[in-house]
Amino acid sequence: MDDAKLAENADEARGGRGRRLRSAVLAGVGAIVAVMPPLEPDVAIATVVAALGQIDTTISTPCCGGCTCPAKHAPYYRHFGYKRAVLSQHLATIHLRCPDTNMCDTVAVGGTWSVWVDGFDAHGRQPYWLTSSSANFPTGTPVAIYTVRDTTIATAERVGIRATTVTARKAGSTWIVGTHGALLDSLKLVVQ
């Protein structure tokens, strides 16, 4: 069985569920392919295919008009093993922040303010695609959904999967709240 047939069998075993990951089909001992699992609740399904017991055999090939055709050499495998793994990244905590500072400044009426979110797993580590403090993919599952408690003072517009731009509308103070499922964090915004 050639590499194309192995890939076709892997696609059949996947069953068309979830997002297809990049894959490599190699002859030999195998390979590990790095992937970026999505943020929950989205999942990606990876299929591992093992072809064991390659045998060489000779098969006759059909010919047109009853002609005698030469036999064809073909490798086959005695056994196939399939295993599916469901991949997702779970966040245990989120933290809102202003870029490059722990404390956010006040904003003048009409001004804008950036708010970013960092997510951490149960061991306190960030998913590997969030380890850069400035990485912000334009599409994908948002790390946080932002809301403003008093929209007469400020409004928020999401930018990518982990940032929002807050626009100050009138003087006062309000809270910017970021949520991811049951997780939440907030920052106080003061508009002068």
Looking at the fold, whether 83 and 101 belong to one and the same domain comes out as no
Instruction: Give the torsion sign (CA, 12, 17, 19, 21).
Output: negative
68 or 22, higher pLDDT: 68
Identify the residue whose tokens are 């929950």: 40
Domain boundary among 87, 107, 136: 87
Looking at the fold, whether 20 and 74 belong to one and the same domain comes out as yes
Looking at the fold, whether 70 and 118 belong to one and the same domain comes out as no
What confidence score (pLDDT) does residue 19 get?
Answer: 41
Label residue 178 exposed, middle or buried (CB < 10 Å: 0-12, 13-18, 19+).
Answer: buried
Count Cβ atoms below 10 Å from residue 82 Cβ, excluding itself. 13
| Longest Cα separation, the chain | 92
Task: Check if the beta carbon of residue 18 is closer than 8 Å to that of residue 86.
Answer: yes
Looking at the fold, whether 184 and 99 belong to one and the same domain comes out as yes
Whole-model pTM: value is: 0.61
Binned at pLDDT 50, 70 and 90, residue 52 comes out as: confident
Domain boundary among 64, 87, 110: 87
Looking at the fold, whether 19 and 74 belong to one and the same domain comes out as yes
Q: Which helix (H) or strand (E) holds 174?
A: strand 172-180
**Residue length, the chain?**
192
In this predicted structure, the answer to whether residue 183 has a pLDDT above a threshold of 80 is yes
134 or 188, higher pLDDT: 188
Count Cβ atoms below 10 Å from residue 7 Cβ, excluding itself. 14
In this predicted structure, the answer to whether residue 150 has a pLDDT above a threshold of 90 is yes
Looking at the fold, whether 17 and 82 belong to one and the same domain comes out as yes
In this predicted structure, the answer to whether residue 126 has a pLDDT above a threshold of 80 is yes
| Structural domain boundaries, residue 59 | 3-87
Looking at the fold, whether 8 and 78 belong to one and the same domain comes out as yes
Binned at pLDDT 50, 70 and 90, residue 32 comes out as: low
Looking at the fold, whether 24 and 66 belong to one and the same domain comes out as yes
Contacts of 138 (CB under 8 A, 6+ apart): 160, 161
Looking at the fold, whether 125 and 57 belong to one and the same domain comes out as no
105 or 8, higher pLDDT: 105
- From 189, 191, 188, 187, select the one nearest 144 (Cα to Cα): 187
Reported as a single tens digit per residue, the pLDDT across 10-25 is 444 444 433 444 444 4
Looking at the fold, whether 83 and 102 belong to one and the same domain comes out as no
- From 54, 45, 62, select the one nearest 5 (Cα to Cα): 54
Number of domains in the chain: 2
20 or 60, higher pLDDT: 60
Looking at the fold, whether 34 and 109 belong to one and the same domain comes out as no
